[in-house]
């Protein structure tokens, strides 16, 4: 019977260069331990104003999923299919709800001075996400392939020509607008929203004016 040898665990010096250690350090550097998915929240988070941030994320999720379903069916199938018309309606109304709760969220945080406590970058990423969402919605209206989208594209082209950028961004180019709407701008929104969430988790939820910051 041969004896088996057990390898001794690696020393901290040997594992310091491991990719798992490096990744863990990066994650801890972004979000402190216990802040990523906290099991407790301050009492002031019972206010309804704090619901609209999560409602924005939830509606954005519906927008993305319904948009993927529309893209898989083609560029005009929602005009010829009952299922496509339903998915298109879900996409449209989820966008409407998204903008309503997003605007309420932005105004609520504005009046709460949400940039307090080193949260200026958190506020800025929220505003950038709003601007990117406006551009995404605009290109979405340009790709509905109906007379309304053609009218919007023609009027927008005149407006962009008046400020000298019509050659760079042509709303009458439907394939290019579809590319902006389906791939480029959603990618921008995804990156900014993820950055925004990381900052919120890192610095915590902003308290109402006059309330004390919770101890971390």
- What CATH number corresponds to the domain at position 156? 1.20.810.10
Q: What is the mean pLDDT of residues 68-89?
A: 88
Residue 214 forms part of a structural domain: no
**What is the reported pLDDT for 4?**
53
Residue 19 forms part of a structural domain: no
Q: What is the mean pLDDT of residues 33-37?
A: 67
Which of the two residues, 79 and 91, has the higher pLDDT score? Answer: 91
Residue 123 forms part of a structural domain: yes
Considering 87, 112, 137, which residue would you say is the last residue of a domain?
Answer: 112
On whether both 149 and 79 belong to a single domain, the answer is: no
pLDDT at residue 8 greater than cutoff 90: no
Q: Are the CB atoms for 91 and 67 separated by under 8 Å?
A: yes
Q: What is the mean pLDDT of residues 159-171?
A: 85
Q: How far apart are CA 160 and CA 138, in angstroms?
A: 13
| Number of domains within the chain | 2
Q: What is the mean pLDDT of residues 199-215?
A: 81
pLDDT at residue 36 greater than cutoff 80: no
C-alpha dist (Å) from residue 55 to 50, 58, 163, 195: 9, 5, 36, 18
Q: How confident is the model at residue 133 (pLDDT cuts 50, 70, 90)?
A: very high
Considering 90, 112, 134, which residue would you say is the last residue of a domain?
Answer: 112
**What is the reported pLDDT for 206?**
85
**Residue 190 per-residue DSSP state:** H
Domain of 199, in residue numbers:
116-207
Lowest-pLDDT range, 9-18, 34-43, 74-83, 183-192?
9-18
Lowest-pLDDT range, 38-52, 116-130, 140-154?
38-52
Q: How confident is the model at residue 187 (pLDDT cuts 50, 70, 90)?
A: very high
Q: For residue 101, give the H/E element and its range.
A: helix 82-111
Q: How confident is the model at residue 66 (pLDDT cuts 50, 70, 90)?
A: very high
Residue 196 forms part of a structural domain: yes
Q: How far apart are CA 179 and CA 185, in angstroms?
A: 9
Mean pLDDT of the chain: 84
Q: How far apart are CA 186 and CA 171, in angstroms?
A: 18
Residue 39 forms part of a structural domain: no
Q: What is the mean pLDDT of residues 82-101?
A: 94
Residue 22 forms part of a structural domain: no
């Amino acid at each position: 019977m041969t004896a088996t040898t057990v390898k001794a665990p690696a020393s901290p010096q040997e594992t310091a260069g491991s990719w798992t250690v490096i990744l863990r350090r990066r994650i801890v550097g972004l979000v402190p331990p216990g802040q990523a998915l906290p099991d407790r929240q301050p009492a002031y988070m019972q206010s309804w104003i704090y619901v609209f941030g999560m409602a924005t994320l939830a509606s954005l999720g519906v927008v993305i999923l319904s948009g993927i379903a529309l893209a898989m069916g083609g560029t005009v199938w929602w005009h010829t299919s009952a299922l496509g018309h339903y998915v298109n309606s879900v996409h449209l109304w989820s966008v409407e709800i998204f903008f309503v709760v997003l605007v309420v969220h932005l105004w609520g945080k504005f009046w709460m001075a949400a940039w307090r406590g080193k949260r200026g970058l958190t506020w800025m990423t929220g505003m950038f996400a709003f601007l990117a969402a406006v551009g995404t919605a605009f290109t979405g209206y340009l790709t509905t392939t109906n007379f309304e989208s053609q009218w919007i594209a023609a009027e927008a082209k005149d407006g962009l020509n008046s400020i000298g950028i019509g050659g760079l961004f042509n709303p009458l180019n439907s394939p290019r607008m579809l590319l902006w709407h389906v791939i480029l701008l959603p990618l921008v929104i995804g990156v900014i929203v993820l950055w925004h969430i990381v900052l919120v988790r890192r610095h915590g939820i902003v308290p109402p004016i006059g309330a004390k910051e919770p101890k971390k």
